[in-house]
């Protein structure tokens, strides 16, 4: 069941998503060689709670039992998504995808950004640029009257035509009172197929793009998803409201990119 949101509900979703953007900016301030991912998590959780919200990932149930232990997903290099923050020390040349979700005033925020740790290779930098670019191409399709498949089609087309892999096992989603609502929003698809997009639908669009093959596997921790060939993957995510003519981006990378300055992707 797809829930359409009222203008008031969309504004509450925007507030939650802006808090996610500001949380990711706090994380951005700390990312450098030598920092552990659990340190990023500690700062993010404190910031979210200080702002009167709760982290939605923490305690999120795993279909195979147990629940997610942290506030952030921190996925390093060949980890695609759902990496668990740990004592792992980030190294010069790593990339780290940081995904963050909050619940505030009954509405969820969900957004992700892939950061460079120091200098990365030109190939990896290109992967990040391409993934982010494909997110915005997808967002351009999130308008009243199009279909979910139009979003997936442009993301898949732009990434695969450049030789990148598009992960199939994990997808974007509707968002509202719940972090994951209908419809699913795959990063692949055919034009003119899938559920019809209507004004007031709120979607998290989140391409997960690999430098090599698109095959992934689940690590023994039951959460972290890794590329099978060990090549890097990137993940950028925005929450948007479908509108007539132009999507309304409810989350924001502006706070992050203010921190990163000319090191922004």
Say whether residue 181 binds Mg ion (CB under 5 A).
Answer: no
Say whether residue 99 binds Mg ion (CB under 5 A).
Answer: yes
Say whether residue 151 binds Mg ion (CB under 5 A).
Answer: no
What Rg do the C-alpha atoms of the chain give, in angstroms?
Answer: 17
> Quick one: which segment of 33-41, 42-50, 183-191, 197-205 binds Mg ion (CB under 5 A)?
197-205
- Indicate the residue among 118 and 222 with the shorter CB distance to Mg ion: 222
Residue 234, beta-bridge partner list:
209
Alpha-carbon gap, residue 134 to 141, rounded angstroms: 11
The string of DSSP codes covering 46-111 is HHHHHTT-EESSTTPBPTTSSB--SSEEEEETTEEE-PPP-SPBP-TT-EEEEEEEEEETTEEEEE
Q: Is 30 in a helix, a strand, or coil? A: helix
Query: How far is Cα of residue 246 from the mean position of the Cα atoms in its chain?
Result: 20
The only residue of 19, 127, 204, 249 in contact with Mg ion, by rule CB under 5 A = 204
> Quick one: which segment of 2-10, 31-39, 185-193, 204-212 binds Mg ion (CB under 5 A)?
204-212
> Quick one: which segment of 24-32, 107-115, 160-168, 221-229 binds Mg ion (CB under 5 A)?
107-115
The only residue of 45, 78, 110, 150 in contact with Mg ion, by rule CB under 5 A = 110
Alpha-carbon gap, residue 159 to 155, rounded angstroms: 6
What is the DSSP pairing of strand 202-205 with strand 238-241? Answer: antiparallel
Residue 101 Cβ vs Mg ion, minimum distance, rounded to whole Å: 6
Say whether residue 20 binds Mg ion (CB under 5 A).
Answer: no
- Indicate the residue among 56 and 156 with the shorter CB distance to Mg ion: 56
- Indicate the residue among 77 and 97 with the shorter CB distance to Mg ion: 97
Residues with Cβ within 8 Å of 132's Cβ and at least 6 positions away in sequence, in order, are 114, 234, 236, 265
Residue 167 Cβ vs Mg ion, minimum distance, rounded to whole Å: 13
**What residues make contact with Mg ion under the rule CB under 5 A?**
99, 110, 112, 204, 237
């Amino acid at each position: 069941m797809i829930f359409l949101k009222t203008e008031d509900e969309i504004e509450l979703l925007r507030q939650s998503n802006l808090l996610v953007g500001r949380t990711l900016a706090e994380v951005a301030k700390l990312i450098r060689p030598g920092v552990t991912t659990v340190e990023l998590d500690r700062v993010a959780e404190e910031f979210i709670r200080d702002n009167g919200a709760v982290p939605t990932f923490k305690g999120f149930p795993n279909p195979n039992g147990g629940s997610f232990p942290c506030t952030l997903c921190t996925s390093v290099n060949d980890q695609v998504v759902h990496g668990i923050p740990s004592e792992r020390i980030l190294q010069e040349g790593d990339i780290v995808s940081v995904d963050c979700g909050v619940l505030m005033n009954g509405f969820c925020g969900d957004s992700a950004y892939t950061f460079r740790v120091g200098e990365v290779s030109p190939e990896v930098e290109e992967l990040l640029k391409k993934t982010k670019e494909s997110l915005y191409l997808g967002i351009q399709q999130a308008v009243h009257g199009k279909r979910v498949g139009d979003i997936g089609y442009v993301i898949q087309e732009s990434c695969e035509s450049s030789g990148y892999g598009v992960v199939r096992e994990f997808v974007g989603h509707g968002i509202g009172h719940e972090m994951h609502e209908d419809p699913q929003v795959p990063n692949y698809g055919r034009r003119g197929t899938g559920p019809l997009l209507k004004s007031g639908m709120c979607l998290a669009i989140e391409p997960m793009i690999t430098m090599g093959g698109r095959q992934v596997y689940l690590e023994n921790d039951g959460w972290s998803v890794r590329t099978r060939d060990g090549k890097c993957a990137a993940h950028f995510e925005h929450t948007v409201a479908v509108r007539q003519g132009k999507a309304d981006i409810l989350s924001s990378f502006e706070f992050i990119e203010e921190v990163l300055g000319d090191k922004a992707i």
